[in-house]
Chain A
Amino acid sequence: MNVIKRYFGIIWILLGPASIIYGIIQAAAELSPNAKTPPTQETYTFWIIILIIFIPIAAGISLMGYYALQGDYDRLPKDSSAL
């Protein structure tokens, strides 16, 4: 199980930047003057909110993946003395 936990860590590490890139591509497509539906104030508001909020969260999942890869989740602490 610990091997699985660590290998999955690689997926979480990659998921962070992948979701950021996907978000930026989507935002660029919708905010482009050539977009299928011309961007409105609401379009800008939506993408500003989404990118500002979710970029740090995406970094967080990469950090969790790094911890997993390092084996930090192999054994969870059983009480606070381990924290």
Chain B
Amino acid sequence: MTTNQTIDNQPKSNITQVILASSVGTLIEWYDFYIFGALATIISTKFFPLENPTAAYLSVLATFAAGFVVRPFGALVFGRLGDLVGRKYTFLLTLVIMGGSTFAIGLVPSYAAIGAAAPIIVLILRLLQGLALGGEYGGAATYVAEHAPAHKRGYYTSWIQTTATLGLFLALGVILITRRSVGLETFSDWGWRIPFLISAFLIAISIYIRLRMSESPLFNKIKAEGKISKNPLKESFTKRVNMKMVLLALFGATMGQGVVWYTGQFYALSFIEKTCNIEFVEARNIILIALAIATPLFIFFGWLSDRIGRKAIMMTGMLLAIMTYRPIYKAMYELADVSKKQETEQSIYNTDVTTMVITKKYADGTIYKETTKNAMPTKPVITKEINLGTNAYWTMIFLIFIQVVYVTMVYGPIAAFLVEIFPTRIRYSSMSLPYHIGNGIFGGLTPYIATRLTTHLGDPYAGLWWPIVIASLCFMIGMIYLSNRIDENVAD
């Protein structure tokens, strides 16, 4: 019996366990990674100097981005390890590093307490998080794909693809519950540390589940046959036939997929919060609802990719994103543009001697609140918050939902696509690098670059040039060079 037949004949309960164990661990790693980004606004006031809030926010985005930039290095380090010693122990190790770093961020004293050491320690821990994530995803995707039958590879690996969104969902959910439980003031003071500290508990559960798993059957097979690569990195990136596929996977698939993903889930949040001034909780609720509705589509498009091919779905998602981003963001901006709404009520009051609050109500139910804090001798700090009326609120959710549908199209089939273009002996290393350059660098830097383009050029839509240009380039390369063929045999 061949390895492919062994995989096809394994009991359903076995593959369910494999998917569950891999997905839970990956979900928790994403949770750990995202709480930092989701709390960027608060973190910027805790670990960075307060004199310039915009500079502090950009600094924290840069620290956030550092976690992404280092991911390709994690892919190299842990990819190599995974191809040498096996998938199981490698992604157990990444889990421990991720959980430890996240827990430690929750314990770092603030800038006010220890000065410049605070952002430095946070940066180091953020780099460790990025390294761990760089090793995790390739291992989990490879592990599931190497257990999956050929005709269900897209479907089974798509469960891993849901974990990134569910991880964000979990992160936002824990933040909102914590904030509601401890109150806004306590949350801003120290309560924001709780989501980081909870990670230790989640990681312990995941380690327990993963320890009960066995090694990938395909890895065991090549190990028994003595076919393990002696130097996976050298084989992956210096051998021309492999390197050309690594480059094609990056420029023809993961680069565009990365920017579509991070625009739909992260830049969208940054845009509605920083550019549209939607209130903190409401902004996160909008994203959460859109994610909850769209997440099952990861599974659908993974399943569909087993029938009509991976390329067709990914390229369609990319093309739709390129064509509709500008009208979607224009509609989002206009929903929150109070200058075009009919004002029905206004009140001005002081909460204390230094703080003045202006509240305006509009005919569609939108509420605008402007708080001015005079903190002499520095300039007054003005914060604007908008709570949308019911119709505008649901329209905003719909506009985010459309973007998440694009995410599910480009991201649902990508694990199966990457697994199929590289052989077992160098799969972990070879697929991890293009995935993490595409997602970690092109995708992960999207909020940072797009926010900067917007503030630098003064145009609220300028940030969209980044995902549109990158996705267009990737679409062209993918359409010209990629094949829509599904590789039946990944046991080679």
Residues of A within 8 A of B (CB): 4-5, 8, 12, 37, 40-42, 45-46, 49-50, 53, 57, 60-61, 63-64, 67-68, 72-73, 76-83
Residues of B near A40 (CB, < 8 A) are: 55
Contact status A76-B483, CB under 8 Å: yes
Give the docked Cα–Cα distance between A72 and B240 (Å).
9
CA separation between A43 and B26, bound complex, in Å?
Answer: 35
Whether B69 lies near A5 (C-beta < 8 A) is no
Are the CB atoms of A61 and B251 closer together than 8 Å?
Answer: yes
A-chain residues with CB within 8 Å of residue B452 when the two chains form the complex: 46
Which residue from A49, A61, A63, A80 sits with its C-beta under 8 Å from B62? A49
Contacts of A8 in B (CB 8 A): 476, 480
- Chain B 218-242 residues near chain A, CB threshold 8 A: 239-242
B248 lies within 8 A of chain A by Cβ: yes
Find residues 469-492 in chain B having any chain A CB closer than 8 Å to their own CB: 476-477, 480-483, 485, 487, 489, 492
Give chain A residues whose Cβ lies under 8 Å from the Cβ of B294. Answer: none
Q: How far is the CA of A83 from the CA of B423 in the complex (A)?
A: 8
Q: Enumerate 6 A-B pairs (CB-CB under 8 Å) in ascending A order.
A: A8-B476, A40-B55, A41-B55, A46-B62, A49-B65, A79-B492
Please indicate the chain A residues that have their CB under 8 angstroms from the CB of B247 in the complex: 60-61, 63-64, 67
Per the bound structure, the CA–CA distance linking A18 and B69 in Å amounts to: 23
Looking across the interface, which residue of chain B has its beta carbon closest to that of A83? B241
Query: Per a CB cutoff under 8 Å, which of B240, B241, B445, B476 touches A82?
Result: B241
Are the C-beta atoms of B481 and A5 separated by less than 8 Å? yes
Chain B residues within CB distance 8 Å of chain A: 55, 58-59, 62, 65, 69, 239-245, 247-248, 250-251, 422-424, 437, 441, 445, 448-449, 452, 456, 476-477, 480-483, 485, 487, 489, 492
> If A42-B59, A53-B441 touch, does A77 touch B481 (CB 8 Å cutoff)?
no
Q: Once bound together, how far apart are the Cα atoms of A6 and B55, in whole Å? A: 46
Given known contacts A49-B69, A72-B240, is B441 in contact with A64 (CB within 8 Å)? no
Cβ–Cβ contact B487 & A64, under 8 A: no
Contact B480 A67 (CB under 8 A): no
CB distance from A38 to the nearest CB of B (A): 13
Q: Which of A45, A68, A73 is the most central at the interface, judged by chain B CB atoms within 10 Å of its CB?
A: A73
A62 and B20 alpha carbons, distance in the complex (Å): 41
Residues in A with CB closer than 8 Å to B241 are 72, 77, 82-83
Cβ of A5: which chain B residues have Cβ within 8 Å of it?
480-481
Chain A's nearest CB lies how many Å from the CB of B11? 28
Q: At the interface, is chain A mostly helix, strand, loop or mixed?
A: helix
**A83 to B: closest C-beta gap in Å:** 5
How near does chain B come to A74, taking the closest CB pair, in angstroms?
Answer: 10
A64-B492 in contact given A40-B55, A76-B483 (Cβ < 8 Å): no
B481 in complex: contacting residue of A61, A63, A73, CB < 8 Å = A73
Q: How far is the CB of B153 from chain A (nearest CB, A)?
A: 15
User: Closest Cβ of chain A: how far from B111's Cβ, in Å?
Assistant: 15
B250 (CB) vs chain A CBs: closest residue: A60
**Nearest 10 CB-CB pairings of A with B:** A80-B423, A80-B492, A64-B247, A67-B244, A72-B244, A73-B481, A83-B241, A42-B58, A76-B483, A42-B55
CA distance A28 to B449 in the complex (A): 17
Chain A residue nearest to B56 in the complex (CB): A42
